Structure 1
Amino acid sequence: MTRTRTLLGGVLLAAATIGTWAAWLGWESGYSTDPRTGATSGPYAVWQVVGAVLTLVVVAAVAGWLLSPVLVAPVMTVAFTAAWSGHAAATDDSGLWVVGAVLVFLGTGLGSTLVSLGAHLFRRRRTR
């Protein structure tokens, strides 16, 4: 893989990852309270998180097909965690966003590694 392709691929991958955060989670509207039960939920709806995860799976699979998982996993992990953390830190007075950031980092890291590696190995096996 050439340096130019690696650099361009990494930049485009970071943009797609941050775009995924912005499209699904960047516009959250805060917590909501169920008037019947009094239960509080949020700041994201379940469908927002599911949409973000499914989009990240597609991005990781395509990137793993085209690029090395050694590039894909760290770029996606850092980009998504940074986007999520920037917003969370700005809107959380409790400081608990740090716990969320660690969980986002671990989940994104594990998921992007497994999906990109799977796509990469599938492509290698297919082209033999």
Structure 2
Amino acid sequence: MTEVHNDRRKPDSAALWAILVAVGTAAVYGALFAWDQHRDLDPETMSESGPYEAWQVILAVLLLGLLAFVAGRRGRPWVATIVLPVVFTLCFTIDAATDRNADGLWIIGAFLVAIGSLAGTAASAGLGLALRNRALRGAAPQHP
């Protein structure tokens, strides 16, 4: 008996999700961080802060967490867990390394961004997958 395989890709393919996650991640970075290169100097303490404000980081965490959650909910947690941290860390690395005021510590920041985005993405995508599996189990017919 010969098996016939349908070679058409589902619109929910891993490659499509990889592209969506990569573009979404780069868009979030560009919209929230790439434009802000201004550092603030406190005149009393002479300490420098920035360039990012708390609202930018909070919004990025929420948006990227949602993106990872949706990917997990659609059954693609590994795509998000691999692609999102790589793209976000790459965006940060290019931005920080090419900053004219870079002090060389950007590599430490890139490492921390990679670890944090990996942990956050894995948690969000894992939660999405867990809720998907729970919903699928609930939708399955119950046998006595």
State TM-score, norm by structure 2: 0.81
100, 116, 122: which one pairs with 1:107? Answer: 116
**Matched letter for residue 66 of structure 1:** R
- Partner Cα separation in structure 2 for residue 104 and residue 5 of structure 1: 28
Partner residue of 2:72? 64
81, 85, 90: which one pairs with 1:82? Answer: 90
Q: How does 1:3-82 map to 2 (within 5 A)?
A: 5-82=13-90
- Please, which moves more after superposition, 17-26 or 38-47? 38-47
* 8 Å Cα contact 1:32-1:42 kept in structure 2: yes
Gaps of 5+ in 1: none
- Partner Cα separation in structure 2 for residue 93 and residue 17 of structure 1: 23
Q: Provide the aligned length of Structure 1 versus Structure 2.
A: 128
- Please, which moves more after superposition, 40-49 or 30-39? 30-39
Deviations 1:37-93 (A, max 9, x none): 433210111111111111111111111111321211010010100011111110153
- Partner Cα separation in structure 1 for residue 25 and residue 113 of structure 2: 13
* 8 Å Cα contact 2:75-2:132 kept in structure 1: no
State TM-score, norm by structure 1: 0.91
Deviations 1:14-57 (A, max 9, x none): 00011111111111132111234433210111111111111111
**Matched letter for residue 38 of structure 1:** M
Greater CA radius of gyration, 1 or 2?
2
Gaps of 5+ in 2: 1-8, 138-144
Which protein is richer in helix relative to its size? 1
- Partner Cα separation in structure 2 for residue 22 and residue 67 of structure 1: 27
**Matched letter for residue 85 of structure 1:** T
98, 105, 121: which one pairs with 2:130? Answer: 121
